[in-house]
Amino acid sequence: MHDTPERIADRYEITEPISTGGMGQVFRGYDTVLDRQVAVKVIRPDLVGETAEYAEMAARFRREARITARIEHPNVPAVYDAAVDTGKGLLYLVMQLVRGVPLGDIINEHRPESMSIEAAAAVAAQICSALSHAHAVPVVHRDLKPGNVMVADDGTVKVLDFGIAAVLRTDMTRITLTGSQLGTCAYMPPEQVLAGGVNPRSDLYSLGCVLYEALTGHKVFSSGYTPFALQRAHVEERPRPPSVYRSSLPGDLDQLLMDLLAKDPEDRPATAQDVYERLVPYLPQADPSAPDVPLPPGALPDPTRPYRRPMGPRPKAAVLAPTRALSPTLIEPTAQAVPGLAPGELAEADGHAQALIEEGRFAQAVGVLDDVIPPASAALGAESAQVVELRLLRANALAISGDARRALPEFGDLADLLERQAGPQDERALLCRQQAVYCMAQLGENTRALREAERVLDRFRQVCGEHSEDALDLRLEMAMWRLRSGDAERAVAELRPLYSDLRAAYGPRAPETLQVADLLRRLGHDRG
């Protein structure tokens, strides 16, 4: 089969892989028509088969898209588009891109402890809400597990990958492949292990496994089991009550989990709505007037927020200070007339945009600058000092607002321009190169970012020195990108000397030093 192209349907650009599941691989993508990031699920080419099987698989895939699109709910990612590319032999589904943290990562962050009862109940209640709507379609998820649950940045829980769900109606062909067994052993209900029929209560068993792990830090059955022994355990063994691991667990919550994990589906709660109602006493109370403290960078999202602040505005975020690359000074009013602008309007727009950026109103700042940069460039020249300052300010606003796609080419152009004006050693040109690298990484272009970062780091060493603030910052980011790309060995090799350099530059208790020390500890290495 063909490799996944960089651009499909002449519309969606593929940037980086996000995850791989039983039916296919999910990529981060960009919709060039609507100017937004998306998730693109491409069905595994080896499952499509040869030409004789392609039509059948295409029909299954279309069914998957139609079913998933019918689950219209805030806790299920929206489906935007689906298509069959017969020329390339590819099937793809375009969905809402969820920015957040997988539930599995959140659970792991709490080990060896467990999530708070409020947080775990908030996750489970939101999953119940999604399941109740899906079961009404009717669709059974069949593969509910922490890896298929995402907690978005605003605390909303998203249940992913309903694409392997089976339609309950007997007159419709199941989406699953003949002879394949879907689901993950650690969360699979007994009836699915036995290849029997699944129903909504099968999802409730998997939900019980997920909630058990969130509340205790332990899987229902030990991860030390072989896959076969683990499947037998789900069929035959009675799980330990979760209160064995967490003695403070309320009795009725302990009983709810045991009810969800009943071997016979008839002994489980009847519906997801019933489970939700039993979780309600453990959900946080709504308090819209309470302070909405912004999460610090890197903090885990809070799944209790949708209950504490129902229908609240988007979470506040700390306003990032402009970087040194983006610190243009206020420009002086020009005596030269600028056609299309009133006298003094250029300086006024500059000051207004800087004030808007300080207030966190980045889109408005970009709008102000977009109104004045073209006429100023036409009148004063594209490389005039005043136009350059305005463009640096605009790049600043785009970068801080997270619009890396528009900021990236602007930084590249400004770096080229500043190098022409002041030479290749110009510090602002170099810092613009650095910001361009950060934009590449934000867009998921890790390989390109690392390649360019190596060049920028060499320049930093020549211009600013090995231990300059910018060089140290870039070294840390590069190590993080390597970790995200799966190159832990090289990341550790870079983090160990970086820890020593940060300790010497900032001290042992500096946030950057502690961050690298913690990373090395998690990776199983001393600080060297």
Q: Are residues 66 and 140 in the same domain?
A: no
Q: Are residues 253 and 132 in the same domain?
A: yes
Note whether 319 and 360 are within 8 A (CB): yes
Query: Are 116 and 47 contained in the same domain?
Result: no
* Domain assignment present for 229: yes
User: Do residues 59 and 113 share a domain?
Assistant: no
pLDDT at 298: 63
**The CATH number of the domain where 13 resides is what?**
3.30.200.20
Q: Are 441 and 467 in contact (CB under 8 A)?
A: no
* Residue 189: both structure tokens together: 């209900």
Check residue 144 and give its pLDDT: 94
> Within this chain, do residues 71 and 140 fall inside the same structural domain, yes or no?
no
Host H or E run for residue 36 = strand 36-43
The reported pLDDT for the residue numbered 294 is 65
Q: What range does the domain containing 82 cover?
A: 7-96
Residue 382 lies in a domain: no
| 168 lies in the same domain as 264 | yes
Answer yes or no: do 21 and 125 share one domain: no
310 dihedral zone (left: phi>0; alpha: psi -120 to 50; beta): beta
Sign of CA dihedral 464, 391, 349, 344: positive
> Last residue of some domain: 74, 96, 118?
96
* pLDDT for res 273: 97
Instruction: Tell whether 492 is covered by a domain.
Output: no
From 66, 96, 126, the end of a domain falls on 96
Residue 433 lies in a domain: no
Task: Kindly state whether residue 364 falls inside one of the protein's structural domains.
Answer: no
Which residues in the chain land under pLDDT 50? 1-4, 165-182, 318-335
Whether 44 and 184 map to the same domain: the answer is no
Long-range pairs for 373-382 at CB < 8 Å and ≥24 separation? 375/338, 375/339, 375/340, 375/341, 376/338, 376/341, 376/346, 378/339, 379/336, 379/337, 379/338, 379/339, 380/334, 380/336, 380/338
Q: Any bridge partners for residue 14, and if so which?
A: 29
Domain-embedded: residue 256: yes
Do 247 and 176 belong together in one domain? Answer: yes
Q: Is 217 left (phi over 0), alpha (psi -120 to 50) or beta?
A: left
Residue 52's pLDDT is 53
Residue 56 token pair: 């059948």
Domain count, the chain: 2
User: Which of 96, 127, 143 marks a domain boundary?
Assistant: 96
Residue 2 is assigned to a structural domain of this protein: no
pTM over 0.75: no
Residues 164 and 267 placed together within one structural domain of the fold: yes
Active site residues: 143
* Cβ-contact 207, 142 below 8 angstroms: no
Please tell me whether residues 140 and 251 are part of one structural domain: yes
The pLDDT of residue 227: 83
β-pairing, 166-167 vs 7-8, is: unpaired
At residue 124, the pLDDT reads 98
pLDDT tens figures, 366-381: 888 988 888 888 888 8
pLDDT score recorded for residue 292: 75
Is 138 among the domain residues?
A: yes
Q: What is the CATH number of the domain that holds 189?
A: 1.10.510.10
- Domain co-membership, 150 together with 220: yes
